[in-house]
Amino acid sequence: MQTLDKFNFKGKKAFVRVDFNVPVDENQNITDDTRIRAAMPTLKKIIADGGRLIIASHMGRPKKNPDPKLSLKVIVNRVSELLGVDVKFASGAMGEETEKMVAELQDGEALLLENLRFYAEEQGKPRLPETATDEEIATAKQEIKAAQKEFAKKLASYSDVYVNDAFGTAHRAHASTALIADYFDAEHKMFGYLMNKEVDAVDKLMDNPARPFTAIMGGSKVSTKIEIIENLLTKVDNLIIAGGMTYTFSKAQGGKIGNSICEDDKLELALELLEKAKKNNVNMVLAVDAKIADSFSNDANTKFASVREIPEGWEGLDIGPKTAEIFAEVIKDSKTILWNGPTGVFEFENFTHGSRAVGEAIVEATKNGAFSLVGGGDSVACVNKFGIADDMSYVSTGGGALLEAIEGRVLPGIAAIKG
Ligand code: AMP
């Protein structure tokens, strides 16, 4: 497989798909530029080689072209500052003007294309009025697929090389994340550094992990994690179940859970997962006690209770101290660790204890040589909040893409390059 390091970009046009979908406030100021900074090593390498850089990204979910509130123009200055080059801006990803700008790019110069999703072709989803009939929808879906290919082909025609550094969209088969790769031979398509790190981290976890391998699944609901849990049950030695899911498992096993969050239609499933764990020799570690509250608020009255005996009017908002100790023991003995989802309502300071205990145990295991990966929105927020992100082996930027990879799915953006 071609790599960024092996390739000399001198005089070459490189189309680099990044994820610059950064949050902006009402005055169009960037509130968090992490995603821009994350792609810098790739962009800088290409510029340093004397390459001609075409940067492409999406932003938000535009419904029309143009959609001024979602213009990437707002990031041009920040990208220029970080890259150390005056980045030009093409006010559309298509059109004669853009083609001219692409053609005139010189060695060491950079051009940012306007939001790719201004074009419905990028995602391959038709934009139809709500009144559209089934027949119109079916026809439009067919048409857009053909148009999407043409769109990808046009984008590909801008450059000699395709680089994908947008792991966050790797689970989408969009024009610029997957289809475009068909127009480059194996020597001329590659992952960017960020994408490579993400792919390596997932591979480390899913292929031949050092053992024991422990996954900590938290968050609110079983229903959003079923596929991940099922796939992990074929991979891990220990599966720690935390967060709101705790109470669905507890109720399924006959526990009284008071007002705790619970998915009554998933009780059967919880028992099946426990059964499957037993069959696969996976040590499923469930909470034994909880920090319970008399309302869903940071200022609620609290006490500790068994997860099987939560009184009416009370709800579990974090794990209790006994559970924290049990989880920490398992984590500290592990050699590979995946953490997805907080153990409690970590947004409330009074219910961060469990997530902190898990985080600290992972820090210790990592210091002792374990490989630890944290991923999926809220766990990343957690490690950032606790100031321990740098103590993890890897904190994924991927969100949905990471979760799909852990579910065992092939990500189109990865397959398009790996073949
Ligand atoms: P997820 O997006 O599925 O990872 O869920 C993260 C959310 O789960 C966070 O917003 C937490 O506040 C929430 N959560 C964790 N534990 C609980 C709990 N015991 N009760 C209610 N919500 C919870």
Indicate if 201-406 has the same CATH topology as 13-194: yes
Residue whose CA is closest, atom 18 of ligand 1? Answer: 244
- Residue 234 predicted with pLDDT over 80: yes
Question: Nearest CA to 61 among 103, 16, 116?
Answer: 116
Q: Is 64 an annotated catalytic residue?
A: no
Q: Per-residue pLDDT for 56 more than 90?
A: yes
220-229, 267-276, 293-302: least confidently modelled range:
220-229
Query: Is 279 part of the annotated catalytic residue set?
Result: no
Task: Specify the ligand 1 atom closest to the Cα of 260.
Answer: 20
Is residue 177 within 8 Å of residue 413, measured between CB atoms?
yes
Confidence of residue 398 (pLDDT cuts 50, 70, 90): confident
What is the structure's pLDDT at 378?
A: 87
Ligand 1 pocket at CB < 6 A: 219-221, 224, 243-244, 261, 316-317, 341-342, 344-345, 347, 376-378
Atom number, ligand 1, closest to the C-alpha of residue 220: 8
- Tell me the per-residue pLDDT of 280-324, one tens digit each, with 9 for 90 and over: 999 999 999 999 999 999 999 999 999 999 999 999 999 999 999
Q: Report the separation in Å between the CA atom of 342 and the middle of ligand 1, taken as the mean of its atom positions.
A: 7
Return the SS3 of 289.
strand
Q: What is the pLDDT of residue 84?
A: 98
Q: Does residue 394 contact residue 373 with C-beta atoms inside 8 Å?
A: yes
Q: How far is CA 112 from the centre of its chain?
A: 23
Regarding pTM above 0.85, the answer is: yes
The active-site residue, picked from 35, 117, 189, 291, is 35
β-strands 289-293, 302-306: how paired?
Answer: antiparallel
CA-proximal residue: ligand 1, atom 20 (nearest): 244
The Å distance, Cα 180 to ligand 1 centre, comes to 38
CA of 347 to the centre of ligand 1 (A): 9
H helix or E strand, kind and range, residue 250: helix 245-252
State residue 376's pLDDT score: 81
Which residue's CA is the nearest one to ligand 1's atom 5? Answer: 219
Ligand 1 atom at shortest distance from the alpha carbon of 247 = 19
% of the chain surpassing 70 pLDDT? 100
Residue 25 in contact with residue 82, Cβ under 8 Å? no
CB atoms within 10 A of CB 107: 15
Nearest residue (by CA) to ligand 1, atom 4, is 219
The answer to whether residue 61 is catalytic is no
CA of 44 to the centre of ligand 1 (A): 38
Ligand 1: residue of 220, 240, 286, 339 to mutate (most ligand atoms within 8 A of CB) is 220
Q: Measured in angstroms, how far is the CA atom of residue 226 from the centroid of ligand 1?
A: 15
Ligand 1, atom nearest to 341 Cα? 4
Give, for ligand 1, the residue of 260, 345, 353, 356 to mutate: max count of ligand atoms closer than 8 Å to Cβ: 345
Whether the CA torsion 326, 282, 360, 261 is positive or negative: it is negative
Distance 242 CA to ligand 1 centre (A): 9
At residue 399 the predicted structure's pLDDT band, cuts being 50, 70 and 90, is: confident
Instruction: Express as a percent the part of the chain with pLDDT over 90.
Output: 94
Q: Which of 245, 378, 385 has most ligand 1 atoms within 8 Å of its beta carbon, as the pocket-test mutant?
A: 378
List residues bridging with 315 in a β-sheet.
293
Among protein residues, the one whose CA lies closest to atom 6 of ligand 1: 219
Q: What is the pLDDT of residues 184-211, one digit of tens each?
A: 999 999 999 999 999 999 999 999 899 9
Task: Report helix, strand or coil for 368.
Answer: coil
Q: Ligand 1 centre and the CA of 403: distance in Å?
A: 16
Residue 78 appears among annotated catalytic residues: no
* pLDDT of 419 strictly over 90: no
Contact 176, 184 (CB under 8 A): no
And the tokens for 263?
Answer: 């998915």
The span from the CA of 167 to the CA of 112, in Å, is 19
pLDDT tens by residue, 61-75: 999 999 999 999 999
Domains of the chain by residue range: 13-194, 201-406
- Determine contact, residues 176/152, Cβ cutoff 8 Å: yes
What distances in angstroms separate CA 346 from CA 317, 324, 361, 363, one per listed residue?
A: 9, 14, 17, 18
Per-residue pLDDT, 73? 97
Catalytic position from the list 92, 255, 400, 408 = 400
What letter would DSSP give residue 243? T
Determine the pLDDT at residue 414: 96
> Residue 261 Cα, ligand 1 centroid: separation in angstroms?
9
Mean pLDDT score across all residues of the chain: 96
CATH fourth-level superfamily of 201-406: Phosphoglycerate kinase, N-terminal domain (3.40.50.1260)
Beta partners for 309?
256
66: preceding bond cis by omega (within 30 degrees): yes
For residue 301, the one-letter residue type is N
pLDDT of residue 397: 84
**Ligand 1 atom 3: the closest Cα is on which residue?**
219
Ligand 1 atom closest to the CA of 318, numbered from 1: 19
Cβ atoms of 155 and 119 within 8 Å: the answer is: no
pLDDT in tens, 90-115: 999 999 999 999 999 999 999 999 99
The CATH number that domain 13-194 falls under is 3.40.50.1260
